[in-house]
Amino acid sequence: MNQPVDILILSNGPGELATWVHPVVKELRRQLGNDRTQVRISVVLSPCANASGQEGAIARRFAEIDRVQEAAQFFPFLLFGNTQDHWDWRSHGVVLFLGGDQFFPVVIGKRMGYRTVIYAEWEARWHSLVDRFGVMNSKICDRVAPKYADKFTVVGDLMAEAGKSDDENQSIDTTELLIGLLPGSKPMKLTLGVPLTLAIADHLHQTYPTAQFVIPVAPSLDLKPLAAYADPAHNPIIQKLGWASATLVIPDTADQLPCLRTIAGTEVLLWNQFPAYDVLSRCTICLTTIGANTAELGALAVPMLVLVPMHQLDLMRAWDGLPGLLVNLPAIGTSMATFISWLASLRPKLRAWPNIWAKREIVPEWYGEFQPQDVAAKVTHYLEHPETLQTMRNELRAVRGQPGAAEKLVQLVREELD
């Protein structure tokens, strides 16, 4: 490159930021350097049905990124090029799509005079208007007209790029059994997920008194709001279902982790670093809800049990499209949420990413009104049969794909810059 450039990344939800944007910006800096006068990386967020509202804060944690614009200001930028902070733009650059609507980079790239690169996981659109596509697999290429074939490069699965965190300020002694608890990041999941996983930890602690438990805290959550989901005064589900409650314990020294301490005395450590690959990779097994976290665990080859409690169907409100509109309507929203959640529970499972990749159940998915002791018994069975866990690890490694997608995608960006 003979002139300063801007790389504008378009993204949307927390899953895309963790599994796509994070490895790509690290690779951009590795290949293009840290001189911000030569290469500037900006992230513009678009609205997302699965957003938590903290996506901007998440993106700002990535040291490789120079500027971030929130989703609330997206459409003035899309339509008119106006950013809230009146950003300047260099004459030479690339728009890199890492989540959202694939039409967005077409509009923005044409207006700014930038080349466009799209990462396509399942489907690629606007073949004639986009300069380059980095796709997850060759099946996408098979659906492309021959005249556009030279625009397509198979780069692999960005979700296979999960690696260890660079931050080692906090540590966990894993000489004993370590079990990860991932109850989710949104209210509808946390309301059930926090007391459920704490209750499971209580049961497991009786069998494995030296075991350690850890919750990798979602970057959109602070500790006190998280702890509120373990407080029966704020979460009536606890008393209704008889699940575990806990109090937040903040240590006196920075080298110790805060924790949630249940009434039974079980301590669940709270891991604040993001991404949490360092601690997750050391877990013997994880209990998780559905979402991008199953892809990250799969990429790390960490055995997991996927839990979708259906004890309170009217809590499920994060549906896309028409169902998402119906469940949030006044008056009838609660009834629609109950009905749609019940209807969804009848569908075939395979909603955890490793199972979607393999088109079969590699990691168990539990749906319904199960009890914490039943889940704990299943986990105990796995722990007493380590060969089963090893089989799960091997199958996860087989379906997660080879690392290197970020490197190949950044190479496409470099080619467009040149």
The least confident of 21-30, 269-278, 397-406 is 397-406
How much is the mean pLDDT over the chain?
87
* Residue length of the chain: 418
Q: Are residues 97 and 218 in the same domain?
A: no
Q: Are residues 193 and 69 in the same domain?
A: no
Give the range of the structural domain holding residue 360, as residue numbers without chain letter: 178-399
Identify whether 110 is part of a domain.
yes
Residues 6 or more apart whose CB falls under 8 angstroms from that of 12 comprise 45, 46, 47, 48, 51, 55, 71, 99, 100
Strands of the sheet containing 178-182, edge to edge, are 246-249, 259-262, 267-271, 212-216, 178-182, 285-288, 304-309, 365-368
* CA dist 177 → 276, 316, 403 (Å): 18, 33, 28
Q: Are residues 124 and 251 in the same domain?
A: no
pLDDT score for 171: 56
Number of folded domains in the chain?
2
Tell me the C-alpha distance between 153 and 245, whole Å: 50
Q: Is 135 left (phi over 0), alpha (psi -120 to 50) or beta?
A: beta
Q: Are residues 407 and 376 in the same domain?
A: no
Count of CB atoms situated within 10 Å of the CB of 414: 14
Both tokens of 7, joined, read 């790389």
Contact 364, 308 (CB under 8 A): no
Both tokens of 152, joined, read 């397509």
CA 78 to chain centre: 25
Q: Are residues 356 and 406 in the same domain?
A: no
Identify whether 169 is part of a domain.
no
Residues 6 or more apart whose CB falls under 8 angstroms from that of 42 comprise 6, 7, 8, 9, 65, 66, 67, 68, 69, 87
Q: Are residues 230 and 137 in the same domain?
A: no
Query: For residue 174, is pLDDT > 60?
Result: no
Burial status of residue 242 (CB atoms within 10 A of its CB: 0-12, 13-18, 19 or more): exposed
- CA-nearest of 124, 241, 143, 225 to 184 is 225
Q: At what angle do helices 372-384 and 187-207 cross, to 10 degrees?
A: 50
Tell me the C-alpha distance between 308 and 291, whole Å: 11
pLDDT score for 105: 96
Q: Are residues 239 and 370 in the same domain?
A: yes
Identify whether 173 is part of a domain.
no
Q: Are residues 13 and 95 in the same domain?
A: yes
pTM for the complete prediction?
0.76
pLDDT score for 1: 64
Residues 6 or more apart whose CB falls under 8 angstroms from that of 34 comprise none
Tell me the C-alpha distance between 256 and 251, whole Å: 6
Contact 315, 404 (CB under 8 A): no
Tell me the C-alpha distance between 21 and 120, whole Å: 13
Residues 6 or more apart whose CB falls under 8 angstroms from that of 349 comprise 355, 361, 365, 367
Identify whether 163 is part of a domain.
no
Q: Are residues 144 and 258 in the same domain?
A: no
Q: Please give the backbone phi and psi of residue 301, each rounded to the nearest 5 degrees, phi first.
A: 60, 40
Q: Are residues 142 and 234 in the same domain?
A: no
Identify whether 59 is part of a domain.
yes
Identify whether 266 is part of a domain.
yes
Q: Are residues 128 and 193 in the same domain?
A: no
pLDDT score for 113: 95
Q: Pairing state of beta strands 5-11 and 93-97?
A: parallel
Identify whether 60 is part of a domain.
yes
pLDDT score for 337: 54
pLDDT score for 321: 46
pLDDT > 70 in the chain, percent: 86
Query: For residue 19, is pLDDT > 70?
Result: yes
Residues 279-336: pLDDT tens digits? 999 999 999 998 888 988 998 899 999 998 886 644 454 444 444 455 455 655 556 5
pLDDT score for 49: 73
Identify whether 168 is part of a domain.
no
Q: Are residues 60 and 189 in the same domain?
A: no
What CATH number did the domain enclosing 25 receive? Answer: 3.40.50.2000
Residues 68-127: pLDDT tens digits? 999 999 999 999 999 999 999 999 999 999 999 999 999 999 999 999 999 998 889 999
Residue 161 identity (one-letter amino acid) = E
- Mean pLDDT to the nearest integer, 134-140: 89
Tell me the C-alpha distance between 189 and 353, whole Å: 18
Contact 99, 10 (CB under 8 A): yes
Residues 75-89: pLDDT tens digits? 999 999 999 999 999
